[in-house]
Amino acid sequence: MATSIFRENFPAVVELQQAADTAAFIIGLDLHAKTTAICVVDPHIPEKPLFQRKRLPNTELLTVLNRFAGKKVIACEAAFGWHVLCDALTEVADVTFIPLDARKTSAWIKSSGIKNDAIDAQVLCHACLHGGIRSLAVYVQSKTAREGSKLARYREHLVRCRSAIKNHLRSFERDYGANPFTGEISEKSSLASFIHLDFRKALLESNERIARIETLMKAMSKSDPIIPLLQTIPGIGPITAFALRYKIDVIDRFKDASHLSSYLGFGVRERQSGETTVKGKIAKTGDPLLRKLLIQGAQIIRFSRSDIVSLYFPSLGQAEQMKSRKHANKVVVALARKNLTLVYYLWRGLQGKTTGSIDCWCYNFRNTSVSIIVGG
């Protein structure tokens, strides 16, 4: 799998590991809301930390870091507060900041046998000193991409809130609407009328807020050449294209299309020992919102464009097989993964970098004039 601990997470990790190999200090940080555990190690004497504190107040962290003159590599888990730390470190000289994948570093931490904040910070130093950066480092999004991703997640939060309001309103109207047995509509009390009116007001406000966000997303999409291109893929609409654009940020950080699929959780779980190989469900790692949007788009294609399903999967997409719900759901997941492959090659094709075994993708679909050509 492309996100294996044995493979590089993205091309720039080579430079990050070189920075760690030539640094004067390796600094591990375990971040918390009010305090930070810190461990400072000299690469030439890694056995004994130069400086170690279990609870250093966050307000004193930058002052402590400035005590160590020379090239510094600072590593922390890509969890609580790491983006804020990244922004704050611009005030510290000669710093290379490296966030590490928390799921993978947990294996290093467990191997120590003891779990506390001081050891967590020291293990992060140990990972940097022993070549762990190549497989543990996490890509740092640009500020624009980070804000775009937050906007997509905020819209999703509002949509969920609107759904909750609709469900409450539906339940309320069922209790105070026409009686299904007598057909009579009882008169509401003043309190019930107030609740009903407030529900409707909340629903209207939710619709207005979502509409404002979608207008903003549409305006941002117009100035970006990638988002309209991704929308030419069947099953990827304006919201999905927007979320993909700002989550991925730079397509070159993925080695190939399977790497992108694994990053978003579409890699297949596998257990193999000896002659026994068991393949399971998809890994479901990565961004759950994007995975949900891609699956929803694939479901729409399943029901509205059966010709595309048959084109992608001639043997698996036959009408008789698609009657089985379990089989159809597997095809939907495969279709979502196929769309990610198209995203990868279309995006790289826009940059003139499409290479490899797939040099040309050209699909002409019924009822649409879209012709998708990459590298041709």
Q: Tell the burial category of 21 from Cβ atoms under 10 Å away from its Cβ (0-12, 13-18, 19+).
A: middle
Largest CA distance in the chain: 86
Q: For tokens 């309190």, what's the residue?
A: 191
Tokens linked to 77: 């888990």
- Beta strand 25-31 with 35-41: parallel, antiparallel or unpaired? antiparallel
HSE-CB at 279 with a 13 A cutoff on CA atoms is: 5
Evaluate whether 192 touches 176 at the Cβ level (below 8 Å). yes
Residue-wise pLDDT tens digits, 310-348:
888 888 878 788 888 888 888 999 999 999 999 999 999
Which helix (H) or strand (E) covers residue 20, if one does?
A: helix 13-21
Tokens linked to 294: 């891609």
Residue-wise pLDDT tens digits, 192-233:
999 999 999 999 999 999 999 999 999 999 999 999 999 999
- Distance between CA atoms of residues 64 and 61, nearest Å: 5
Evaluate whether 308 touches 298 at the Cβ level (below 8 Å). no
Which helix (H) or strand (E) covers residue 54, if one does?
A: strand 51-57
- Beta strand 72-77 with 95-100: parallel, antiparallel or unpaired? parallel
- Distance between CA atoms of residues 51 and 27, nearest Å: 9
Position 2 scores a pLDDT of 39
The secondary structure of 313-349 as a DSSP string is -TTTT-TTGGGSHHHHHHHHHHHHHHHHHHHHHHHHH
Which stretches in the chain have pLDDT values below 70? 1-7, 112, 353-376
Which helix (H) or strand (E) covers residue 29, if one does?
A: strand 25-31
Give how far Cα 5 sits from Cα of 18, 36, 119, 123, 132, Å: 18, 27, 21, 16, 9
